Amino acid sequence: MTYDTRRIGLSLGADICWPICYTEILHQLDLRIPTDGTTLRFEAERMTIEPFDLRQPAPYSVVIDRLTHWYHTTREWIKKAVLMDDVYVFNNPWSVQSVEKHTSYAAMMKLGLPVPDTWLIPPKEYAPQQDLRETLERYARYFDLGEIGEELGYPLYMKPYDGGGWRGVSRADDEEALRAAYEMSGRLVMHLQAGVDPFDLFVRCVGLGPQLRMVRYDPSAPLHDRYTMDRDFLDSDDAQILRDMTLTINAFFGWDFNSCEALRGSEAWHPIDFANPCPDSQVTSLHYHFPWLIKANLRWSLFAAATNRPMRMNLDWAPFFEAVDEEMTLKERLSATAAIARERFETDRFEEFCHEHLAHLDEVTHAFFGTDMARDAVRQKVAAMYPPHEREEFTELFWARIQTWRTEEANNPPTGP
């Protein structure tokens, strides 16, 4: 018997808990997948940072990347590995580098999604730069912030065009607050966005390849309670809209792993923040949802490694725009664009693969999350984030939530990926 071992590179930063769980479950799955006269085996390995020769082949079939949105040596290595060595990486590194919130809003507005009305305004202050004064003196038009505020209506949100992690976000309830927020905004290039107000539901929909998890999100809660453990908070119509929206966004931008935030206003679901490639994967935020993430990560990376899934080298947006027209309702548009997304994520082939080769994943994961090793992974992450006197309490809290997940899953076994 000959073996072909496919290696999965883990490109990690401050990640502690998920790689421990991922690697151990992969080991316990003990996969041997017969294919083309050989048997596929899989290994996960933590990647290191070192000088590299551009012509030196990359040893990985797949890279799960947690670094490149801010660590550029790895980002450039990944770009060369995709171009030269046929490595599959989630997410598309060129898209991560170039698509900010702003582009994501513009593209989804063009597809007809009800992104709240949004303006972009020039920054309040600038770093000194050659030609800056001349350019601004010639071309920067004075504008009246109050007029834009009035046009958008209050409340509105001021937030960076390339935002993330709540940096620089403020809510303005009137013109005075808007002016004060702008005064404080410094060099940040800001969006002003109409507030979805009131809204009765805030959902964060996490996508990993074609797999989705919808979580009711509570932005006002402390970090460990923002992902709620609520179930059944969406009827099937709403769930369909959010599923199609997230799949469309993720396939459009080449983001295998991304999360989409949407608010349910009086008439529609409004996506407000969906350029989050490489979202939070830590047990300290995800707790109850953490085992889902580990399973979804394993399924999608193993599928990509086993099938030598080719990386889409360019994003190819035209088919999405061609699939929609003026006459269509939101549901019809999303259904048309999500069909393209499902195809790009090879959804049928993926489900078949999981059914055929990963049928024991649920059982292995369920058992693993009852072990000391899993508890220790949670403890290690808590120890890295909390002061000593809170460590026991928070380890217990997150562990108890994972045990709730185990009980619920045992009583109500999943039926597919």
Ligand X SMILES: Nc1ncnc2c1ncn2[C@@H]1O[C@H](COP(=O)(O)OP(=O)(O)OP(=O)(O)O)[C@@H](O)[C@H]1O
Residue ranges binding Mg ion (CB under 5 A):
261, 273
Residue 206 interacting entry, from Mg ion, ligand X, none, C-beta within 5 to 8 Å by type: none
Other Cβ atoms less than 10 A from the Cβ of 71: the count is 15
For Mg ion, the nearest residue by Cβ is 273
Q: Given the complex with Mg ion, which of 209 and 279 has the nearer CB atom?
A: 279
Q: Given the complex with ligand X, which of 116 and 291 has the nearer CB atom?
A: 116
Q: Given the complex with ligand X, which of 19 and 116 has the nearer CB atom?
A: 116
Q: Given the complex with ligand X, which of 287 and 295 has the nearer CB atom?
A: 287
Least Å from the CB of residue 85 to ligand X: 32
Least Å from the CB of residue 261 to Mg ion: 5
Least Å from the CB of residue 200 to Mg ion: 18
Least Å from the CB of residue 160 to ligand X: 7
Residues at the contact surface with ligand X, assessed by CB under 6 A: 116, 157, 159, 163-167, 169, 193, 195-196, 219, 261, 263, 272-273
- Secondary structure of the chain as H, E, C letters: CCEEEEEEEEECCCCCHHHHHHHHHHHHHCCCEEECCEEEEEEEEECCCCCCCCCCCCCCCEEEECCCCCCHHHHHHHHHHHHHHCCEEECCHHHHHHCCHHHHHHHHHHCCCCCCCEEEECCCCCCCCCCHHHHHHHHCCCCCHHHHHHHHCCCEEEEECCCCCCCCCEEECCHHHHHHHHHCCCCCCEEEEECCCCCCEEEEEEEECCEEEEEEECCCCCHHHCECCCCCCCCHHHHHHHHHHHHHHHHHHCCCEEEEEEEECCCCEEEEECCCCCCCCCHHHHHHHHHHHHHHHHHHHHHHHHCCCCCCCCCCCHHHHHHCCCCCCHHHHHHHHHHHHHHHCCHHHHHHHHHHHCCCHHHHHHHHCCCHHHHHHHHHHHHHHCCHHHHHHHHHHHHHHHHHHHHHHHHCCCCCC
Q: Given the complex with ligand X, which of 14 and 373 has the nearer CB atom?
A: 14
Residue 195 interacting entry, from ligand X, Mg ion, none, C-beta within 5 to 8 Å by type: ligand X
Q: Given the complex with ligand X, which of 165 and 388 has the nearer CB atom?
A: 165
Least Å from the CB of residue 94 to Mg ion: 23
Residue 165 interacting entry, from ligand X, Mg ion, none, C-beta within 5 to 8 Å by type: ligand X
How far out from the chain centre does Cα 157 lie? Answer: 22
Least Å from the CB of residue 95 to ligand X: 17
Q: Given the complex with ligand X, which of 37 and 165 has the nearer CB atom?
A: 165
Residue 46 interacting entry, from Mg ion, ligand X, none, C-beta within 5 to 8 Å by type: none
Q: Given the complex with ligand X, which of 9 and 160 has the nearer CB atom?
A: 160
Q: Cβ(67)–Cβ(75) under 8 Å? A: yes
Residue 3 interacting entry, from Mg ion, ligand X, none, C-beta within 5 to 8 Å by type: none
For ligand X, the nearest residue by Cβ is 273
How far out from the chain centre does Cα 279 lie? Answer: 4
Residue 279 interacting entry, from Mg ion, ligand X, none, C-beta within 5 to 8 Å by type: none
Least Å from the CB of residue 340 to ligand X: 26
Residue 164 interacting entry, from ligand X, Mg ion, none, C-beta within 5 to 8 Å by type: ligand X
Least Å from the CB of residue 194 to Mg ion: 16
